[in-house]
């Protein structure tokens, strides 16, 4: 690791050990028409207590990366290469042993002990993320009972307590309601309650606010930040919304077509983006302090079809700095360009 | 929930009414009226029906009055349990039908249960292991089950039993017990004879239910709540059985309402081929002999039984699906 | 911050291939999609083959299906011998029948010395091809049709000594057309009532939906049996044929109505339908120009799936002796002779008419499945 200490606030600043370290992860979906390389060499690091924003257009492999980490990739997809090092907490909360999640049996007892308890997931559609025929409480209690040695009654109490913490009003009543009886914002709160019910060290939030209206979105993000302050877990925040990233993340990894093209602290990404894709991405969103009448520039072209990925650097057909003979021949690799700043581009090789 | 059950019950009442009208139509369709045929029948047996008696019968059945009056008179008698007199058997219809109605119910329910017992696990397996060898086998058997009409299946099985094992597969009892009064031995005998008719009757339904279950479950398996359940760290079996299967069961349960009439329908014709002592062969004979009171009664009773069965399944559905319970409470 | 323009990179190559898909019509897309479904395509060919039999039944038959001959009662199928002395010369052996003096059953013995050659396009009974052209040629046949010894029974004979093969050909004609007529009637009822229900909604929808539910919760076979048995005995074949068609379609339209209603409900809110209404299309125009074409494919698929049920219904009714009655010939009528196990055990060839029933039903099911998958080419 050549990244050094990340600029993370408070006590975690000294923790040089990564919580999650993904190396060259490849998750492919073999299909009749060809193999979809949804994740094709993803590399990034996540530190305890930090928030890593994973940014990219739809279909760039963000969600598959998240599912790969949890080992719940849908068939026929499977991890074909790479490592996912995850540092398991010890019982007293200290940093414990590191395991390579790719080496574990997806449905084996060890992976299942990690899933839900140490790494939790919340995702986009709070409506369909709950079973429509089981009460919200039932589904949270189930998670608690699974990972903690408590009685059913205690689990229920904990659930109510958790719902209270995430700001669900009258949790004693809500606990027995179906997801369809809750509003979108409440559902996402309940979802967060479920995810955090076992005090995970890593929370993967896959577009947690995309389906919500702007006001609710802000509330949920604020809630996540507050809970992170209290519990100290790391968050891997997957989003296509750069605004959310700017607000939440300490670090950012930019993904394009199954690869991380740039990873850097959030300030570096917004103020000194290096990869042409990151730059293009930033130019495509409106900014508060932009010169008046400055035009937004959309990124030329569309994300290529997953079956025919461009050769070489996957971004070269849309790249402004395309260098014929280089970018379309070889694939660049992630290289450090500054303090904890890595870029995968031939401009910097 | 009550509103839902109320609606269902109301519909059931309408259905019974529709069936009774159709049954009455069947009784009325052939030329000639009941009393005239009854007198002729009695005369052929050597007994004479007095004019007074004939007149009473005519009044009882409302003959000569408008058709709806006749229908109401008939309904009045039916509600009192008087289904008329069978011309061919020269006995009251109720006596002729006897145990046969209950045996029809037993056979149909056995087929329905078998359908469930087979279709559920096979459907789940097919969906969870989509495109596996087992899935293909299940799909293939499913198609055969749908394509082979059950009476032909019955025929083929009879033929195979006869030529390969020299055994007469068919009937619901061993000949010695056929006419014996009900006893533990007879019930056991019935139980032993049930599987083959139930299988023949249930095959088409099973095939269909496997397809429904498979398709439902495949849909459900793609839903995000399955990922949620998985991400909690539940074991795969637990994930599938607690969540998607539970959800896939709902549309599955709601098809019982259509499976039951289908099975009852099938039981008629399969019983004829297999020679089961249900109402099936009786209905056929009655229709061919134009013994319309018997035929109409059988159609009516079968329809009513089916409606009751469907109503029960509707109520079960409410119990299974909390979403219906929430509806307009 | 460097500010290079985001310029157009090398053009996307894949676009050319996509172009073909973008400009394809809905029917083209469906055809491509259907084409991929091998089993469905094969089933389509099988179904087409059966309807060719319907057209050419009299050409494919080689004997008058109603010509009975007591001397030839229940004769087993004659095996065809393809070679004669090393040369390709298909023939059958002549068969001599005699009555067993002990059991009084007719027994048949093949006589290998007497070979009856099978001829292509042989002369036979007179008929009108496609109902118009008078012909006497049949696909196969034997010389000297008048000579009682020189006959051929590929699938054996029935109790009255009628040729099963020829009867099967004629049975195909009736069984498959009755299904087609029944489904047409069902389709009419289904589209009108389902469309009405789905397009207007409200009370009409409620009433029609309840009627459908009621009809679906009634066991149909006893009802059919009752209604069919009530048909007057003195009706002609044609009258009975249509009456049976009406009976089976009266109870069979519900599924089609359900499909049509579902499509209407889904389409009613679609943007293109709303905009058609907004630009002032009349209701008729909205329905027939904008809505119907977009779910035509669904109707075709549902119809295909409804056909086998019709065929089975007719077969079942006729099998019980309540549907078509002799001298009409349908698969069900033919199977009527196979009702008794004892008979079937001795003369298993009487069960042969079950084979086309099963094949046709299966083919229709596969075809319908393929069509249904292809019907929504934009889905998935």
% of chain A residues with pLDDT over 90: 11
Q: What is the mean pLDDT of residues B185-210?
A: 84
Nearest chain C Cα distance for residue A196, angstroms = 35
pLDDT in tens, C254-288: 888 888 888 788 777 778 888 888 888 887 788 77
Q: What is the mean pLDDT of residues B186-211?
A: 84
Nearest chain B Cα distance for residue C231, angstroms = 8
Listed range (B254-258, C287-291, C306-310, C364-368) with the worst mean pLDDT: B254-258
Taken in order of first residue, the domains within chain B and their CATH numbers are 1-98+290-329 (no CATH), 100-276 (1.10.3720)
- Note whether B257 contacts C: Cβ–Cβ < 8 A: yes
Q: What is the mean pLDDT of residues B103-125?
A: 88
ipTM entry:
0.79
**So what's the pLDDT on residue A54?**
92
| Residue A32's CATH number | 3.40.50.300
Residues of A with CB under 8 A from a CB of B: 67, 70, 72, 74, 107, 111-117, 120-121, 123-125, 128-134, 139, 142-143, 146-147, 178, 180-181, 191, 194
Residue C55 confidence (pLDDT) above 80: yes
Do A263 and A231 fall into the same domain? yes
> Range of A154's domain?
128-197
Residue C167 confidence (pLDDT) above 80: yes
Residue A27 located in a structural domain: yes
Tokens of A83: 């490592």
Q: What is the mean pLDDT of residues A276-284?
A: 86
The two beta strands, A51-55 and A251-256, are parallel
State CA C89 to chain mean position distance: 34
Main-chain dihedrals φ then ψ at residue B33, nearest 5 degrees: -105, 165
Choose among C5, C6, C9: nearest Cβ to A317.
C9
Tokens of A74: 């849908």
* Selected residues 98-137 of chain C with any CB under 8 Å from a CB in chain A: none
Chains A and B: how many Cβ contacts under 8 Å? 79
CA geometry: angle at A139 spanning A136 and A141, to 5°? Answer: 105
Residue A349 located in a structural domain: no
Look at residues C309, C191, C179 and name the one whose alpha carbon lies nearest to residue C245: C179
pLDDT in tens, B72-112: 888 888 888 888 777 777 788 888 888 888 888 888 889 98
What band does A289 get if pLDDT is binned at 50, 70 and 90? low
Task: Report d(CA B193, CA B177) in Å as an integer.
Answer: 12
Q: Mutation test of the interface with chain C: which of A256, A317, A322, A345, choosing the one with the most C Cβ atoms within 10 A?
A: A317
Choose among A129, A133, A139: nearest Cβ to B224.
A129
Residue A303 located in a structural domain: yes
- Determine, for residues B232 and A72 on separate chains, whether the beta-carbon distance falls below 8 Å: no
Residue C375 confidence (pLDDT) above 80: no
- Note whether C6 contacts A: Cβ–Cβ < 8 A: yes
- Contacting residues of C for B307, CB less than 8 Å apart: 217
The two beta strands, C87-99 and C106-129, are antiparallel
Nearest chain C Cα distance for residue A94, angstroms = 42
**So what's the pLDDT on residue C134?**
81
- Contacting residues of B for C345, CB less than 8 Å apart: 159, 162-163
Do A107 and A219 fall into the same domain? yes
- Contacting residues of C for B290, CB less than 8 Å apart: 229
Do A132 and A110 fall into the same domain? no
Residue A134 confidence (pLDDT) above 60: yes
**Residues in contact with A115: Cβ distance below 8 Å, sequence separation at least 6, in sequence order:** A70, A71, A72, B230, B231, B232, B233
Q: Which residue of A has its CA nearest to C6?
A: A320
**So what's the pLDDT on residue A237?**
92
- Note whether B213 contacts C: Cβ–Cβ < 8 A: no
> Where are the extended beta strands (E) located within chain A?
20-31, 34-46, 51-55, 78-89, 95-100, 119-123, 202-206, 234-239, 251-256, 259-265, 335-338, 341-343
Residue C85 confidence (pLDDT) above 80: no
- Note whether B157 contacts C: Cβ–Cβ < 8 A: no
- Determine, for residues B257 and C354 on separate chains, whether the beta-carbon distance falls below 8 Å: no
**So what's the pLDDT on residue C3?**
40
**So what's the pLDDT on residue C10?**
38
State CA B157 to chain mean position distance: 21
- Determine, for residues B228 and A67 on separate chains, whether the beta-carbon distance falls below 8 Å: no
**Residues in contact with B295: Cβ distance below 8 Å, sequence separation at least 6, in sequence order:** B26, B27, B283, B286, B287, C225, C226, C229
**So what's the pLDDT on residue A196?**
87
- Contacting residues of B for C222, CB less than 8 Å apart: 264-265, 268, 283, 298-299, 302-303
Whether C237 and C324 have beta carbons less than 8 Å apart is answered as yes
State CA A283 to chain mean position distance: 23
- Contacting residues of B for C219, CB less than 8 Å apart: 261-262, 264-265, 268, 302-303, 306
Do A327 and A286 fall into the same domain? yes
Task: Report d(CA A340, CA A337) in Å as an integer.
Answer: 8
**So what's the pLDDT on residue C257?**
85
What band does A294 get if pLDDT is binned at 50, 70 and 90? low
% of chain C residues with pLDDT over 70: 90
Residue A182 located in a structural domain: yes
Nearest chain A Cα distance for residue B128, angstroms = 11
What band does A7 get if pLDDT is binned at 50, 70 and 90? very low
- Contacting residues of C for A283, CB less than 8 Å apart: 6
Residue A332 located in a structural domain: yes
C131: left (phi over 0), alpha (psi -120 to 50) or beta: left
Do A153 and A300 fall into the same domain? no
Three-state SS at A126? coil
- Note whether A299 contacts C: Cβ–Cβ < 8 A: yes
- Determine, for residues B151 and C319 on separate chains, whether the beta-carbon distance falls below 8 Å: yes
- Contacting residues of A for C8, CB less than 8 Å apart: 300-301
- Determine, for residues B299 and C222 on separate chains, whether the beta-carbon distance falls below 8 Å: yes
Task: Report d(CA A134, CA A201) in Å as an integer.
Answer: 27
Residue A221 located in a structural domain: yes
Q: What is the mean pLDDT of residues C146-157?
A: 69
pLDDT in tens, C223-238: 888 888 777 777 888 8
What band does A51 get if pLDDT is binned at 50, 70 and 90? very high
% of chain B residues with pLDDT over 90: 1
Domain stop point among A157, A179, A197: A197
Residue B169 confidence (pLDDT) above 80: no
- Note whether C287 contacts B: Cβ–Cβ < 8 A: no
Residue B32 confidence (pLDDT) above 70: no
Which residue intervals of B165-291 are DSSP H helices?
184-193, 195-221, 224-231, 236-242, 244-254, 256-274, 279-288
| Dihedral, C206, C209, C210, C216 alpha carbons, nearest 10 | 180
Chains A and C: how many Cβ contacts under 8 Å? 43
Residue A346 located in a structural domain: no
> Where are the extended beta strands (E) located within chain C?
81-84, 87-99, 106-129, 133-142
Residue B10 confidence (pLDDT) above 60: yes
**So what's the pLDDT on residue C131?**
75
**So what's the pLDDT on residue A253?**
92
- Determine, for residues B265 and C221 on separate chains, whether the beta-carbon distance falls below 8 Å: yes
Handedness of CA B107, B108, B111, B116 (dihedral sign): negative
Q: What is the mean pLDDT of residues C21-43?
A: 75
Measuring CA to CA, how many Å separate A75 from each of A243, B128, C248? 33, 11, 45
Main-chain dihedrals φ then ψ at residue C13, nearest 5 degrees: -75, -35
Task: Report d(CA C248, CA C232) in Å as an integer.
Answer: 17
A167: left (phi over 0), alpha (psi -120 to 50) or beta: left
Q: How many CA atoms lie within 13 A of A160 on its CB side?
A: 11
Q: Which residue has the tokens 């719940």?
A: A72
Q: Mutation test of the interface with chain B: which of A129, A179, A182, choosing the one with the most B Cβ atoms within 10 A?
A: A129
- Note whether C10 contacts A: Cβ–Cβ < 8 A: yes
Choose among C1, C4, C12: nearest Cβ to A301.
C12
Residue A174 located in a structural domain: yes
- Note whether C109 contacts B: Cβ–Cβ < 8 A: no
pLDDT in tens, B208-229: 888 888 888 888 888 888 888 8
- Determine, for residues B287 and C229 on separate chains, whether the beta-carbon distance falls below 8 Å: yes
- Determine, for residues B268 and C222 on separate chains, whether the beta-carbon distance falls below 8 Å: yes
Choose among C4, C6, C12: nearest Cβ to A304.
C12
Three-state SS at C282? coil
| Average pLDDT over chain C, rounded to an integer | 78
Do A187 and A293 fall into the same domain? no
**Residues in contact with B258: Cβ distance below 8 Å, sequence separation at least 6, in sequence order:** C216, C217
Q: What is the mean pLDDT of residues A152-158?
A: 91
pLDDT in tens, B258-303: 778 888 888 888 888 888 888 888 888 888 777 778 888 888 888 8
CA geometry: angle at B118 spanning B115 and B121, to 5°? Answer: 130
Q: Mutation test of the interface with chain C: which of A321, A326, A328, choosing the one with the most C Cβ atoms within 10 A?
A: A321
| Average pLDDT over chain A, rounded to an integer | 83
Residue A22 confidence (pLDDT) above 80: yes
Do A269 and A284 fall into the same domain? no
Which residue intervals of C26-71 are DSSP H helices?
26-36, 38-55, 57-60
What band does A2 get if pLDDT is binned at 50, 70 and 90? very low
In chain A, how many domains are there? 3
Do A267 and A300 fall into the same domain? no
Residue C294 confidence (pLDDT) above 50: yes
- Determine, for residues C344 and B303 on separate chains, whether the beta-carbon distance falls below 8 Å: no
Choose among C213, C312, C341: nearest Cβ to B158.
C341
**So what's the pLDDT on residue A12?**
41
Main-chain dihedrals φ then ψ at residue A82, nearest 5 degrees: 105, 175
**So what's the pLDDT on residue A13?**
38
What band does A3 get if pLDDT is binned at 50, 70 and 90? very low
Residue A267 confidence (pLDDT) above 60: yes
Task: Report d(CA B267, CA B235) in Å as an integer.
Answer: 42
Do A46 and A72 fall into the same domain? yes
Domain stop point among A252, A275, A298: A275
Look at residues B226, B206, B204 and name the one whose alpha carbon lies nearest to residue B217: B226
Q: Which residue has the higher pLDDT, C145 or B22?
A: B22
Do A109 and A157 fall into the same domain? no
Do A217 and A175 fall into the same domain? no
What band does A53 get if pLDDT is binned at 50, 70 and 90? very high
Nearest chain C Cα distance for residue B60, angstroms = 24
% of chain A residues with pLDDT over 70: 91
Do A175 and A52 fall into the same domain? no
**So what's the pLDDT on residue C12?**
43
Q: What is the mean pLDDT of residues A182-197?
A: 87
Three-state SS at A206? strand
- Determine, for residues A181 and B326 on separate chains, whether the beta-carbon distance falls below 8 Å: yes
Domain stop point among A197, A232, A248: A197
Listed range (A64-73, A118-127, A272-281) with the worst mean pLDDT: A118-127
Choose among B227, B232, B326: nearest Cβ to A143.
B232
- Note whether C358 contacts B: Cβ–Cβ < 8 A: yes
Q: Chains near C, with 3+ CB pairs < 8 A?
A: A, B
**Residues in contact with A123: Cβ distance below 8 Å, sequence separation at least 6, in sequence order:** A63, A129, A191, A205, A206, A207, A208, B224, B227, B228
């Amino acid at each position: 690791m050549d990244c050094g200490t990340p600029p993370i606030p408070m006590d975690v600043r000294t923790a040089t050990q990564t919580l999650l370290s993904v190396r060259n992860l490849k998750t492919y979906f073999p299909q009749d028409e060809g193999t979809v390389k949804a994740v094709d060499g993803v590399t990034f690091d996540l530190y305890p207590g930090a928030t890593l924003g994973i940014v990219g257009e739809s279909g760039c492999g963000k969600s598959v990366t998240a599912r790969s980490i949890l080992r719940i990739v849908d068939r026929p997809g499977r991890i074909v290469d790479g490592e996912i090092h995850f540092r398991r907490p010890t019982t007293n909360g200290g940093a414990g042993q590191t395991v390579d999640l790719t080496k574990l049996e997806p449905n084996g007892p060890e992976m299942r002990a990690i899933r839900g308890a140490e790494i939790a997931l919340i995702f986009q559609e709070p409506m369909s993320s709950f079973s429509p025929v089981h009460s919200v409480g039932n589904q949270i209690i189930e998670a608690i009972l699974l990972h903690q040695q408590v009685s059913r009654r205690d689990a229920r109490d904990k659930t109510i307590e958790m719902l209270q913490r995430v700001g669900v009003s009258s949790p004693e009543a809500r606990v027995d309601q179906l997801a369809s009886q809750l509003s979108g914002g409440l559902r996402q709160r309940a979802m967060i309650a479920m995810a955090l019910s076992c005090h995970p060290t890593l929370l993967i939030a896959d577009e947690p606010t995309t389906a919500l209206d702007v006001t609710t979105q802000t509330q949920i993000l604020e809630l996540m930040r507050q809970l992170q302050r209290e519990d100290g877990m790391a968050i891997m925040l997957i989003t296509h919304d750069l605004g959310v990233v700017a607000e939440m993340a300490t670090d950012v990894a930019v993904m394009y077509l199954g690869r991380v093209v740039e990873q850097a602290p959030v300030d570096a990404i917004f103020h000194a983006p290096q990869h042409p894709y990151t730059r293009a991405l930033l130019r495509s969103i409106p900014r508060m302090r932009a010169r008046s009448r400055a035009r937004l520039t959309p990124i030329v072209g569309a994300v290529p079809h997953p079956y025919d990925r461009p050769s070489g650097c996957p971004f070269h057909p849309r790249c402004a700095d395309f260098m014929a003979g280089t970018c379309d021949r070889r694939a660049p690799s992630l290289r450090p360009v500054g303090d904890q700043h890595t870029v995968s581009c031939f401009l910097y090789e | 929930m009550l509103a839902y059950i109320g609606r269902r019950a109301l519909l059931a009442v309408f259905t019974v009414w529709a069936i009774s009208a159709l049954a009455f139509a069947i009784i009325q369709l052939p030329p000639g009226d009941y009393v005239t045929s009854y007198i002729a029948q009695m005369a052929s047996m050597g007994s004479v029906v007095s004019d007074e008696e004939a007149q009473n019968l005519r009044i009882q059945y409302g003959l000569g009055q408008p058709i709806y009056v006749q229908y109401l008179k008939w309904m009045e008698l039916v509600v009192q349990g008087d289904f008329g007199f069978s011309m061919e058997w020269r006995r009251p219809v109720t006596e002729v039908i006897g145990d046969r109605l209950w045996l029809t119910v037993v056979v149909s329910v056995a087929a329905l249960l078998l359908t469930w017992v087979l279709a559920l696990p096979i459907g789940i397996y097919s969906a969870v292991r989509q495109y596996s060898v087992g899935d293909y086998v299940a799909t293939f058997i499913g198609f055969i089950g749908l394509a082979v009409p059950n009476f032909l299946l019955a025929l083929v099985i009879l033929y195979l039993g006869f030529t390969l094992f020299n055994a007469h597969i068919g009937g619901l009892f061993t000949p010695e017990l056929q006419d014996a009064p009900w006893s533990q031995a007879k019930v056991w005998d019935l139980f032993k004879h049930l599987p083959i008719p139930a299988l023949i009757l249930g095959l088409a339904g099973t095939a269909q239910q496997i397809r429904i279950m498979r398709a439902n479950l495949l849909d459900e398996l793609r839903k995000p709540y399955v990922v949620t359940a998985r991400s909690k760290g539940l074991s795969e079996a637990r994930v599938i059985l607690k969540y998607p299967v539970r959800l896939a069961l709902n549309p599955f349960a709601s098809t019982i309402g259509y499976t039951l009439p289908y099975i009852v329908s099938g039981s008629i014709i399969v019983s004829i081929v297999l020679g089961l002592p249900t109402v099936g062969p009786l209905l056929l004979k009655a229709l061919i002999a134009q013994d319309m009171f018997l035929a109409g009664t059988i159609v009516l009773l079968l329809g009513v039984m089916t409606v009751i069965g469907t109503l029960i399944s509707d109520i079960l559905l409410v119990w299974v699906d909390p979403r219906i319970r929430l509806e307009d409470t | 911050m460097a500010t290079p323009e985001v310029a157009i990179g090398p053009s996307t190559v894949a676009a050319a291939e996509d172009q073909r898909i973008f400009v394809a019509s809905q029917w083209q897309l469906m055809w491509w999609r259907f084409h991929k479904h091998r089993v469905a395509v094969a089933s389509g060919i099988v179904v087409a083959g059966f309807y060719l039999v319907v057209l050419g039944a009299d050409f494919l038959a080689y004997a008058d299906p109603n010509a009975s001959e007591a001397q030839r009662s229940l004769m087993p199928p004659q095996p065809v011998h393809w070679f004669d002395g090393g040369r390709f010369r298909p023939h059958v052996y002549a068969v001599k029948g005699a009555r067993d003096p002990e059991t009084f059953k007719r027994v048949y013995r093949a006589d290998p010395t007497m070979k009856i050659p099978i001829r292509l396009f042989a002369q036979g009974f007179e008929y009108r091809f496609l109902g118009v052209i008078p012909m006497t040629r049949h696909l196969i046949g034997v010389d000297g049709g008048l000579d009682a010894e020189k006959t051929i029974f590929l699938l054996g004979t029935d109790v009255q000594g009628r040729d099963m093969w020829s009867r099967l050909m004629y049975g195909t004609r009736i069984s498959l057309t009755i299904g087609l007529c029944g489904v047409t009637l069902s389709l009419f009822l289904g589209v009108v009532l389902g469309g009405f229900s789905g397009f207007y909604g409200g009370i009409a929808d409620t009433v029609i939906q309840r009627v459908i539910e009621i009809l679906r919760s009634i066991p149909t076979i006893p009802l059919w049996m009752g209604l069919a048995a009530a048909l007057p005995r003195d009706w002609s074949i044609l009258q009975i044929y249509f009456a049976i068609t009406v009976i089976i379609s009266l109870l069979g339209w519900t599924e089609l109505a359900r499909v049509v209603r579902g499509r209407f409900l889904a389409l009613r809110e679609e943007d293109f339908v709303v905009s058609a209404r907004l630009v002032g299309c009349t209701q008729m125009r909205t329905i027939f120009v904008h809505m119907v074409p977009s779910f035509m494919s669904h109707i075709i698929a549902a119809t295909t799936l409804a056909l086998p049920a019709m065929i089975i219904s007719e077969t079942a009714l006729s099998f019980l002796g309540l549907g078509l009655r002799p001298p009409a010939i349908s698969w069900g009528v033919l199977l009527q002779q196979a009702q008794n196990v004892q008979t079937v055990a001795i003369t298993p060839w009487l069960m042969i008419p079950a084979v086309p029933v099963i094949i046709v039903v299966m083919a229709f099911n596969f075809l319908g499945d393929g069509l249904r998958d292809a019907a929504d080419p934009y889905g998935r």
